[in-house]
Amino acid sequence: MKSLTTCALLACDVFKEEIEGFAAQGATWRTTRFLEMGLHDFPDNLRSELTSALQAIEEDPEIETVLLAYGRCGNGLVGLRAGRARLVLPQAHDCLSILLGGREEHDAALRETPGTYFYSPGWIRGKRVPGPDREDHLRELYRERYPDDEEMLDDLVEVDRESFAHNSCAAYVDITGNAEAEAYCKGCAHHMGWSFKRLPGDPSFLEGLLSGPWDDPDRFLIIPPGHHVDAREDGTLFARDPR
């Protein structure tokens, strides 16, 4: 892979294993920064964190391009503005679209198995996925608020579990060959009473973002300096000139 010495990489921590794998193959960027996973739960927070990170990155005058390893992420990228450096980002719903190889592959997986909940090595590392560790974490979190009410704790954990009632399949997506994470996903499927499916990931989308070229508009969007990210009704992103 290429050495992109005038590029900065700003990525969600959910991609840490995958990006470290590419770096081991020789991919390098002038600077790499990860933001915590889960910021898309609050899109305004994600946009604010990305804006602050971009401002810090642009303090390096050598950086001409910032690669964003993010999808649309609940419109968290909508409104994000390119400053001095241009931005390059994938045309993707979210991180799973990127790991599966594109929006079409993501949509096809959902059509084939409605009710799919997607797991990946990063999400499993964060223990945010439906399963026993998530429930244990929530129980401890709620215990700080209701230390003497075990029945309340049971009810709150059950409410969270019921929020996944429309899901019926745990689909594991991986481009790293992480057998431990796959086994963990199988255990989560068993715990939730779901079926399990392994979906082969496609590294080409993420690799293309990390090394270029970015001349395929169906896969990548370039935001020139001074422009900002906007979204169409179909969810695709485009560069809007604020003038």
Question: Which residues touch 114 (CB under 8 Å, ≥6 apart)?
Answer: none
Q: How confident is the model at residue 204, as a pLDDT?
A: 94
Interval 12-22 mean pLDDT? 93
Question: Which residues touch 204 (CB under 8 Å, ≥6 apart)?
Answer: 101
- pLDDT tens-place string over residues 141-177: 888 888 878 888 888 888 888 999 999 999 999 999 9
**Is a pLDDT exceeding 80 seen at residue 69?**
yes
Interval 180-204 mean pLDDT? 96
**Is a pLDDT exceeding 80 seen at residue 68?**
yes
**Is a pLDDT exceeding 80 seen at residue 215?**
yes
Q: Which residues pair with 196 in a beta bridge?
A: 170
Separation CA 88–CA 68 (nearest Å)? 6
Q: How confident is the model at residue 234, as a pLDDT?
A: 87
Q: How confident is the model at residue 185, as a pLDDT?
A: 97
Separation CA 121–CA 130 (nearest Å)? 14
Q: How confident is the model at residue 3, as a pLDDT?
A: 65
Q: 114-123, 157-166, 182-191: lowest mean pLDDT where?
A: 157-166
pTM for this entry: 0.90
When computed from its CA atoms, the radius of gyration of the chain, rounded to whole angstroms, is 19
User: Residue 10 phi/psi, 5° resolution?
Assistant: -120, 115
The DSSP string of 6-17 is: EEEEEEEGGGHH
Residue 88 vs residues 40, 44, 56, 94, 233: alpha-carbon distances, Å: 19, 20, 17, 15, 21
Interval 26-38 mean pLDDT? 88
- pLDDT tens-place string over residues 78-102: 999 999 999 999 999 999 999 999 9
**Spatial contact of 220 and 207, defined as CB atoms under 8 Å apart:** no
**Is a pLDDT exceeding 90 seen at residue 227?**
yes
Q: How confident is the model at residue 2, as a pLDDT?
A: 59
Spans of all domains in the chain: 3-97+203-240, 103-200
Look up residue 207 and give its DSSP letter. H
